[in-house]
C-alpha cells in the first residue's frame, strides 16, 4: 500500500468516526447492552482478532537481521517509554493551571505512555529509504514491551483510577493480546507459503476491526449527557499534539546525528519515526481494558485518536525533506571514506 493511499485511508477512517459521533447517530448501538454488545464483542473478540491478525502478518524472520543493533534499540525504547511519558508529565504540570479540560490533559499523558505502532513508523521509514529492519524490530519489540510497561506507566502517572484490579488488567491483556499474537505466529508457520502467495489484506482487516472499536468509544462519549468537551480545549490539544510531535522529532534527530552517536543516516530515519510515533491499534484496546467502566474514558481517548492521524500527516509531509537529507549525508560520508589521490611531484 502506497504512503499517500495509507494516509487517505487513515483520515477517511477518522472522518467516518467523527461524523458518526458528532451527528449522534443512534449512539445506543455502541454502548454497553446495545445491539453490538461491545462489552463482549469489543473487549474480547475484536481486540483478540486484531492481535491474532498481527501475529499472522508479522514476519519474524525479518526482525532477526536487526536484532544485534542494541544501541539503536535502547535509544528508541528508552526515549519512547521513559523520556516521552516523563517529559509529557512535566509539561502537564504547567498546563494543569490552565482552563484546558483536565481529562483531555490526562489523555495527553496516556499518549505519552503508549508504545510505538507496528505500521506507520515502518511505512514512513521505508518511504524515506531508512533502516527498515530496525524500524520493524523496534515497532514490534516496543509493542511487546508496551503490553507490560504501558499499564504500569498509566497507573504510575494517572493513579489507580481504573475500576479494574491490577491483576485483572494483566490477565485480560495476556489473554486478549499476548495469546492471540502467539497463536497467530504459530499458525503463520504452517500457512506461510499460502499467506505469501495470496497476500491477505491484513491492514484492511485490522482497520475495520479498529474502526468498530473507535466507533463504540465515541458512542460511549456521546451517550453520556454530562460530557463536557469545549471547543477551546479541543483546539489547544490539537495544537499541542502537533507541537509535541515536531519538537520530539527534532530532538531525536539532534541526538542521533551527534558526532559520537555512531548512527548511520538510515538509522536516524528509523529512530526519528519509531521514537515519536504512538500506537492506536494497541492503545485504544488497552485503554478500554485498563479504564473499563470509567466515566471519562472517552475524553481520555480523544488525544490518542488525534495523535495517530497527525503523526502520519506530519511524517508524510516530511518524507521528501528527510529523504533529501539522508541521501546528501550518505554521499558526504562516501566522499570522506574515499582515499585521497597521491600528489604529483
pLDDT for the residue 310:
84
Nearest of 128, 166, 158 to residue 324 by alpha carbon: 128
Judge whether 70 and 247 are in contact, CB under 8 Å: no
Evaluate if residue 163 carries a pLDDT over 70: no
Tell me whether residue 340 is in a domain: no
Tell me whether residue 1 is in a domain: no
Q: Can you tell me whether residue 101 is helix, strand or coil?
A: coil
Average pLDDT over all residues of the chain: 75
Q: For residue 169, name the pLDDT band (cuts at 50, 70, 90).
A: low
Tell me whether residue 211 is in a domain: yes
- CA distances to 111, 135, 149, 151 from 302, rounded to whole Å, are 10, 26, 21, 18
Q: Can you tell me whether residue 148 is helix, strand or coil?
A: helix
- For the stretch 298-326, pLDDT in tens is 788 888 888 887 887 888 888 889 999 99
* More confident call, 297 vs 107: 107
Q: List the CATH number of the domain containing 212.
A: 1.20.1530.20
pLDDT for the residue 79:
94
Tell me whether residue 106 is in a domain: yes
Number of CB atoms found within 10 A of residue 121's CB = 30
Evaluate if residue 28 carries a pLDDT over 70: no
Tell me whether residue 342 is in a domain: no
Q: Which long-range contacts (CB under 8 A, 24 or more apart) does 252-256 make?
A: 252/79, 252/276, 255/75, 256/75
CA 71 to chain centroid, in Å, comes to 22
**Cell numbers of 118, please?**
507496528
Nearest of 50, 1, 58, 52 to residue 192 by alpha carbon: 58
Angle in degrees, CA 279, 281, 282, rounded to 5? 70
- For the stretch 38-76, pLDDT in tens is 555 655 677 677 677 767 766 666 556 566 778 888 999
301 is in which domain, residue-wise?
Answer: 7-327
**Cell numbers of 35, please?**
445491539
Tell me whether residue 333 is in a domain: no
What is the radius of gyration, based on Cα positions, of the chain? Answer: 21
Domain total of the chain: 1
**Cell numbers of 217, please?**
468509544
pLDDT for the residue 164:
47
Nearest of 185, 204, 214, 207 to residue 285 by alpha carbon: 214
* More confident call, 207 vs 18: 207
Judge whether 28 and 222 are in contact, CB under 8 Å: no
Tell me whether residue 334 is in a domain: no
Q: What is the pTM of this model?
A: 0.71
Q: For residue 162, name the pLDDT band (cuts at 50, 70, 90).
A: very low
pLDDT for the residue 203:
63
Q: CA 81, CA 146: separation in Å to the nearest integer?
A: 8
Tell me whether residue 219 is in a domain: yes
- For the stretch 197-246, pLDDT in tens is 877 776 667 667 766 666 666 665 556 555 566 788 888 999 999 999 99
Amino acid at each position: 500500500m502506497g504512503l499517500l493511499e495509507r494516509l487517505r485511508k487513515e483520515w477517511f477512517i477518522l472522518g467516518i468516526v467523527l461524523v458518526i459521533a458528532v451527528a449522534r447517530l443512534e449512539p445506543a448501538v455502541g454502548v454497553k447492552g446495545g445491539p453490538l454488545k461491545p462489552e463482549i464483542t469489543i473487549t474480547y473478540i475484536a481486540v483478540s482478532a486484531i492481535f491474532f491478525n498481527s501475529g499472522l502478518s508479522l514476519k519474524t524472520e525479518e526482525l532477526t537481521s536487526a536484532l544485534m543493533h542494541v544501541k539503536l534499540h535502547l535509544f528508541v525504547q528508552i526515549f519512547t517509554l521513559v523520556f516521552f511519558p516523563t517529559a509529557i508529565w512535566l509539561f502537564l504540570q504547567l498546563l494543569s493551571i490552565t482552563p484546558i479540560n483536565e481529562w483531555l490533559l490526562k489523555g495527553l499523558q496516556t499518549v505519552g505512555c503508549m508504545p510505538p505502532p507496528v505500521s506507520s513508523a515502518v511505512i514512513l521509514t521505508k518511504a524515506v529509504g531508512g533502516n527498515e529492519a530496525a524500524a520493524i524490530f523496534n515497532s514490534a519489540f516496543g509493542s511487546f514491551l508496551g503490553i507490560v510497561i504501558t499499564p504500569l506507566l498509566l497507573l504510575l502517572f494517572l493513579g489507580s483510577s481504573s475500576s479494574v484490579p491490577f491483576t485483572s488488567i494483566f490477565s485480560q491483556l495476556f489473554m486478549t493480546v499476548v495469546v492471540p499474537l502467539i497463536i497467530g505466529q504459530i499458525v503463520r508457520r504452517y500457512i506461510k507459503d499460502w499467506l505469501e502467495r495470496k497476500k491477505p489484506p491484513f491492514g484492511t482487516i485490522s482497520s475495520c476491526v479498529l474502526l468498530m472499536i473507535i466507533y463504540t468509544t465515541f458512542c460511549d462519549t456521546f451517550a453520556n449527557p454530562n460530557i463536557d468537551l469545549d471547543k477551546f480545549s479541543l483546539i489547544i490539544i490539537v495544537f499541542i499534539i502537533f507541537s509535541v510531535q515536531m519538537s520530539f522529532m527534532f530532538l531525536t534527530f539532534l541526538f542521533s546525528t551527534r558526532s559520537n552517536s555512531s548512527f548511520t543516516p538510515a538509522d536516524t530515519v528509523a529512530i526519528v519515526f519509531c521514537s515519536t510515533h504512538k500506537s492506536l491499534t494497541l492503545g485504544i484496546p488497552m485503554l478500554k481494558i485498563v479504564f473499563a467502566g470509567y466515566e471519562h474514558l472517552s475524553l481520555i481517548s480523544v488525544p490518542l485518536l488525534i495523535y495517530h492521524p497527525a503523526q502520519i500527516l506530519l511524517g508524510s509531509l516530511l518524507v521528501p525533506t528527510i529523504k533529501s537529507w539522508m541521501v546528501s549525508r550518505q554521499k558526504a560520508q562516501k566522499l570522506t571514506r574515499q582515499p585521497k589521490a597521491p600528489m604529483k611531484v
